[in-house]
């Protein structure tokens, strides 16, 4: 099984013929730090929340536009989940092979059990259909078509739920 790091992500996108642009930048650990770097498509920047239920049976990656804040209680109510909290650093590394600050839907390629469900805000399918995500490393952003990203994740075996998350924003 391939472990997907930055170079493996670049190679995968090239091998699949997926259009993408890469913006290399300093390491960023949160959206405030992202705001300090110059990005070619700032409205397409993705923010990701890796959450789980208390018993660590269900894991979710919630991906929204970078300027949004998600209310997890409302998410729980809308999607009928058990109470949610943020996954630990150990879970992040063991399941997605990522460090804090590098969380990305592309990390699902390291989810060998396909247990993490991606909830992707439908806002990424408006306008140019662009999304900016880390390539499993927080020193770059990969810009690609949202459909290509969801195809890659689904082909890997993870469920992808494209949904309107606007009613969950704070």
Q: Quick one: CA dihedral 63, 38, 42, 158, positive or negative?
A: negative
pLDDT in tens, 64-97: 998 888 999 999 999 999 999 999 999 999 999 9
Whole-angstrom Cα distance, residue 167 to residue 102? 26
What domains are there in the chain, each with its CATH number? 6-168 (3.90.960.10)
**pLDDT tier at 17, thresholds 50, 70, 90:** very high
On the question of pLDDT at 170 being above 80, the answer is: no
pTM of the entire structure?
0.94
pLDDT in tens, 98-143: 999 999 999 999 999 999 999 999 999 999 999 999 999 999 999 9
**pLDDT tier at 29, thresholds 50, 70, 90:** confident
Whole-angstrom Cα distance, residue 138 to residue 161? 24
Q: What is the 3-state secondary structure (H, E, C) of 18-55?
A: CCEEEEECCCCCCHHHHCCCCCCCHHHEEEEEEEEECC
Whole-angstrom Cα distance, residue 148 to residue 120? 13
Per-residue tokens: 90: 């150990």
* Contact call for residues 73 and 168 (beta carbons, < 8 A): no
Question: What was the pLDDT predicted at 45?
Answer: 94
């Amino acid at each position: 099984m391939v472990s997907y790091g930055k170079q493996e992500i670049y190679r995968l996108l090239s091998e699949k013929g997926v259009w993408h642009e890469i913006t290399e930048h300093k390491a960023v650990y949160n959206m405030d730090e992202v705001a300090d770097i110059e990005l070619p498509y700032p409205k397409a920047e993705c923010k990701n929340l890796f959450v789980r239920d208390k018993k660590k049976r269900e894991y979710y990656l919630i991906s929204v536009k970078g300027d949004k804040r998600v209310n997890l209680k409302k998410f729980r109510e809308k999607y009928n989940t058990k109470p949610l909290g943020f996954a630990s650093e150990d879970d992040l590394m063991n399941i997605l092979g990522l460090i804090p600050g590098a969380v990305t839907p592309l990390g699902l390629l390291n989810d060998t059990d396909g247990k993490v469900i991606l909830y992707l805000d439908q806002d990424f399918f408006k306008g140019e259909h662009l999304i900016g995500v880390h390539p499993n490393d927080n020193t770059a952003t990969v810009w690609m078509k949202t459909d290509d990203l969801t195809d890659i994740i689904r082909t890997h075996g993870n469920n992808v739920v494209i949904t309107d998350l606007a009613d969950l924003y704070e």
